[in-house]
Amino acid sequence: MNEQQGPRSVQFGALDGSAQPSGAASSIDLLRDVPVEVKAELGKADRLVRDVLRLTVGTVIDLDKEAGAPVDLIVNNHMIARGEVVEIDGRYGVRVTEIIR
């Protein structure tokens, strides 16, 4: 007859890849190819559906932030950083200026 075992304590190693068995991938290596959604949020505005349906090219929508204010960097619906919008060779990006913990 098999004896049932109670709960066991488990400890996991660090995710920085510093301690790994030889020949084995580090824990963080297993996560490197997992897709995540990254958004840069300039601001928000609440509008009624009828107002959204009236939008046309050239319509200006007032946001809840001032011009030049930092943008929020959101990963999988969690804000992780703030930064400033930059333009390089006709493409836009965000330069991270603050990490949120």
Q: SS3 of 49, please?
A: helix
pTM (two decimals): 0.60
Angle of CA points 96, 97, 101, to nearest 5°: 90
Class of the CATH-defined domain 36-99? mainly beta
Q: What sign results for the dihedral spanned by CA atoms 20, 10, 100, 45?
A: positive
pLDDT given for residue 26 in this prediction: 74
pLDDT given for residue 50 in this prediction: 96
Output DSSP code: residue 18: S
Q: What is the pLDDT of residues 50-93, one digit of tens each?
A: 999 999 999 999 999 998 899 999 999 999 999 999 999 999 99
Residue 20 has pLDDT above 70, yes or no: no
Q: If you search the block for the tokens 């290596």, which residue do you land on?
A: 29
Q: SS3 of 20, please?
A: coil
Q: What is the pLDDT of residues 8-19, one digit of tens each?
A: 766 666 665 555
Residue 3 has pLDDT above 60, yes or no: no
pLDDT given for residue 45 in this prediction: 95
Hey, where are the domains in the chain?
36-99
Residues near 70 by Cβ (< 8 Å), separated by ≥ 6?
A: 82, 83, 84, 97, 98
Q: SS3 of 74, please?
A: strand
